[in-house]
Chains A and B, each alone.
Chain A
Amino acid sequence: MSANVNTSLPLEYQTEQSRMNILGFWIFLGAEIVLFATLFGVYGVLYERYAGGPTHQDIIMMREVMIQTILLLTSSFTCGLAIFEMRRNNLKGLITWLIITLLLGVGFLFMEVNEFLHYIHEGATMQTSAFLSSFFVLLGTHGLHVTVGIGWAILIIIQLLQRGLTPVTARKTFIIGLYWHFLDVVWIFIFTFVYLKGMVA
């Protein structure tokens, strides 16, 4: 299952197994879209069921959320730069930009955890109302994905340091790039439909 090698393609697409892995990952992202769409649907049904608890305007910290958004969107850009360096066969540039991406991701995560703790101190917990249940689970699922992505990327960086750029490591890096951009797209929807819509509701 490896024989079919085509060296005219970018490194990550050269072997048949790599092409299959990348297609498989796109299909997995399709499943992830359904997963998040379901969570958005749940949120869309429950978002005004405050049950006497706090509403959006009572709790949302727009300034912090704005900074989180900028951090995550920038990390998606730096992730794109990392893949660009990979295509130029520049291992050092690739790893540098990947680490910058991860630092931005950690920053995002740190702020999100603080935001959650702030809400909980205000008495807005997952158990307070249906609105907050759906709010925390939707955002928490995204945050969990970012956390997993950071851990996963660290594994890839170690492998890049061990093995350099090979068809296999290039494919792995490319796939986590897809994953990272996907999380960014999900965040844009969260920012729009949870935060912005919540502020004007």
Chain B
Amino acid sequence: MGIKWNEILITGDPLILGSQIAILLTMIGIVGGITYLKKWKWLWTEWLTTVDHKKIGIMYIISAVLMFFRGGMDGILMRVQTSRPEMEFLNAQHYNEIFTTHGVIMILFMAMPFLIGFMNLVIPLQIGARDVAFPQLNALSFWLFFCGAMLFNLSFVVGGSPDAGWTSYFPLAGKEFSPGIGNNYYAVALQISGIGTLMTGINFIVTILKMRTKGMTLMRMPMFSWTTFITSIIIVASFPILTVALALMTFDRLYGTHFFTLSGGGLDMLWANLFWLWGHPEVYIVALPAFGIFSEVIATFSRKTLYGYKSMVFSIVGIAILSMVVWVHHFYTMGAGPGVNSIFSITTMMIAVPTGVKMFNWLFTMRKGRIKMTTAMLWALAFVPCFVIGGVTGVMLGMGAADYQYHNTLFLVAHFHYVLIPAVVFAVFAGTYYWWPKMFGHMLNEKIGKWHFWLFVIGFNMTFMPMFFLGLDGAVRRSYTYSVESGYAPLFFVSFIGSIILALGFAAFCYNIYWSVRYADRNIPSDPWDARTLEWATASPVQHYNFAKLPEVKSMDAFWYMKKNNEGLTLKKEELEEIHMPSNSGLPFIMCVVFGISGFFLVFEWHIAAAVAAVGIFAGLIIRSFDYNDGFHVHKEEIEQTESAWRNGEGEVNRYVGKR
């Protein structure tokens, strides 16, 4: 098989050696800790084999926070390297690897899983269901994402990181110009997690279409459910394109085909088209659920129904359609010609229309509302102006003729960070503060939260605002250094200071989690925010069957209506029925391991070993096909006990009427 043992572990770089030691120590620490606390069985039965959508959501979010740390470290390293001209902290190759992994990790292994985590956590609760349509498939989706993420992260210590940018443009990413195995990691790891994402999309479409509770019509669904629904459709429509593109990349790199190569009639522009046919919808796959989170947070803390509900729905549908017809704007300068560029300029600028509608709807929701300045709401408030800067510079970039001036500069980098950080990162922070009590039954500390907020928002603006001006002055992206004569040094230094403040903000967030887990008050009602949607109509943390009795919906903002009219809040003993729930399964986790081993061999081009490991994948599918486990029933006594325990607490709006 031609194994080159000396190429497996990366040696000779003190930074990477440090990481290798740190990874080893962390792993020893985790294994030792779990063994010492005798938690292996708990870990296996409660988490690794779970099919509970809430626990899967929490696992997504924990993984995403870890990936945020990894991607953030890459970002800080880049800022350090460019903090002074002619800096010699990272060499050019290392810098290439760092900006590549930063992009891939932040988009695919941080933004998406964070949002999919919230979808998992919230959607079945918001539509009044007891789980998703396919609980075990949902667990498999998570484990495939996790497998892909781990495989990708392995690259920088084992074998070498991909270094052709997160877009992996050919011919650079091909075997001729990148002979190492780094880009194999890109092709294989993204393929594995992409399959998981596609199945998540299918799962949520069916869940939302088929499992809404009585009275929950489509036009009564909370906005986060709507954005999840539309996002899932975009996932199903666009992820197969990524699957094909990555498969063809794998064929080109591993089996010598000529799809994107310069020789043999291949066409490198075909990769750019396929990549962005997926890549642009991907932007909206992460943006739409974030918009949904803001809609929930703004409505709750303005204490008003969302303004312009119908126009919100139409604009997300409009954005979804337009997202499919703008991909060429990512490569105006690569020779499509003025006719094509004009058409794509127009479609690109059209996206500003539905997005603008949403902006005004959020502003009008806040108008005359009694706004509560919670940390979650602060993120939503900061999102509006920051995102508008990102959006307006997007329109500037969207004009094909003008783009020749900005393309490939830091102006573009500043633009997409101004889009993705306010939209996605602010949203997941808002969501974390907002839904944390739903996940764990205690709040995050608001005071530390405000430190987190201000450090992060100031740091963000200080890091990326200078890049607009650097870009206009001609500083190119992905360049590992610059000369003293260029005059870029002061702005780059400001950006570096900003990134340190940004990192302090993230540290405050981590400290907040630590503080709240240890010291926060556990004695809070299930509806601490006086919220409007059904996820707050049940216990916090949510009992595994979600609802003892499925709620009936009579209007939009269903839970708000129930509270105002005092309907459906009490649960009577005679209403209790046995509840059918799916059983746990270890298969998804085992599939993750098998996919990981097979993928690892494929990365190293050990084809026979990969094929042998892949037999395990088929074995898993066959076992699943013969699995007739029908789940189990939760007994009335258990439900009665659980319900009376949380419903009779202090300050609780939901009541239980039993024997006592």
Contact = CB atoms under 8 A, between A and B. Distances in A.
Interface string A3-45: 1000000000000100111011001101110110011001001
Interface in B131-170: 131, 133-134
B270 A46 contact: yes
B257 A155 contact: no
Interface in B244-266: 244-245, 247-248, 251, 255-259, 263-266
Nearest to B207: A20
A30 B236 CA distance: 8
A31 B257 contact: no
A24 B209 CA distance: 10
Contacts of A129: 258, 264-265
B134 A20 contact: yes
Given A30-B236, A38-B274, A127-B258, A50 B265 contact: yes
B251 A137 contact: yes
Interface in B192-218: 198, 201-203, 205-206, 209-211
A58 to B, nearest CB: 15
Interface stretch (B63-71, B621-629, B650-658): B621-629
A126 interface: yes
Given A24-B133, A45-B267, 17 more contacts: A1-B581, A1-B582, A2-B631, A23-B209, A24-B134, A27-B206, A30-B237, A31-B236, A34-B236, A38-B244, A42-B270, A49-B265, A49-B266, A133-B258, A134-B259, A155-B622, A155-B626
Q: Which of A16, A21, A34, A46 is packed against the most chain B CB atoms within 10 Å?
A: A34
B572 interface: no
A1 B255 contact: no
Contacts of A46: 259, 265-267, 270
A34 B240 contact: yes
A23 to B, nearest CB: 5
Contacts of B274: 38, 42
B244 A130 contact: no
B130 interface: yes
A47 B210 CA distance: 43
A130 B267 contact: yes
A9 B139 CA distance: 31
Contacts of A127: 255-258, 264
Residue among A2, A3, A128, A130 with most chain B CB within 10 A: A130
Interface of B is mostly: helix
A159 B626 contact: yes
Nearest to B269: A45
Nearest to B199: A28
In the A-B complex, the 6 residue pairs with the smallest Cβ-Cβ separation, listed nearest first, are A49-B265, A130-B265, A51-B265, A35-B240, A133-B257, A34-B240
Pick the most buried of A20, A45, A127, A155: most chain B CB atoms within 10 A of its CB.
Answer: A20
7 contacts: A24-B205, A34-B237, A38-B244, A46-B266, A127-B258, A133-B251, A168-B628
Nearest to B270: A45
A28 B265 contact: no
Interface of B: 130-131, 133-134, 198, 201-203, 205-206, 209-211, 236-241, 243-245, 247-248, 251, 255-259, 263-267, 270, 274, 277, 580-582, 618, 622, 625-626, 628, 630-631
Contacts of A172: 625
A24 B236 CA distance: 11
Nearest to A162: B626
A152 interface: yes
B243 A35 contact: yes
Interface of A: 1-3, 16, 19-21, 23-24, 27-28, 30-32, 34-35, 38-39, 42, 45-46, 49-51, 126-131, 133-134, 136-137, 151-152, 155-156, 159, 168, 172
Contacts of A28: 202
Q: Which of A2, A27, A129, A155 lies at the interface centre, i.e. has the most chain B CB atoms within 10 A of its CB?
A: A27
A46 B270 CA distance: 9
Nearest to B245: A38
A38 B240 contact: yes
A10 to B, nearest CB: 18
Contacts of A2: 580, 630-631
A27 B265 contact: no
B248 A42 contact: yes
Nearest to B210: A20
A135 to B, nearest CB: 11
Contacts of B259: 42, 46, 130, 133-134, 137
B266 to A, nearest CB: 5
Contacts of A31: 198, 201-202, 236-237, 239-240
Contacts of A128: 264
Contacts of A1: 130-131, 580-582, 631
A24 B202 contact: yes
Nearest to B211: A20
Given A24-B206, A127-B264, A155-B622, A38 B241 contact: yes
Contact of B266 (A24, A39, A130, A155): A130
Given A31-B236, A31-B240, A24 B203 contact: yes
Contact of A34 (B133, B210, B241, B248): B241
B95 to A, nearest CB: 33
A173 to B, nearest CB: 12
A23 B244 CA distance: 24
B206 A3 contact: no
Contacts of A131: 265
Nearest to B618: A151
A178 to B, nearest CB: 14
B626 A32 contact: no
Given A49-B265, A130-B267, A137-B251, A27 B257 contact: no
A145 B270 CA distance: 24
A64 to B, nearest CB: 24
A152 B622 CA distance: 8
A137 B239 contact: no
Contact of B202 (A27, A151, A159): A27
A27 B240 CA distance: 12
A23 B201 CA distance: 13
A1 B133 CA distance: 9
B255 A42 contact: no
B622 A27 contact: no
B338 to A, nearest CB: 22
A170 B241 CA distance: 32
B232 to A, nearest CB: 9
A137 B257 contact: yes
Contacts of A3: 580
B625 A152 contact: yes
B244 A126 contact: no
Contacts of B626: 155, 159
Nearest to B243: A35
A151 to B, nearest CB: 8
Nearest to B252: A133
Contacts of B631: 1-2
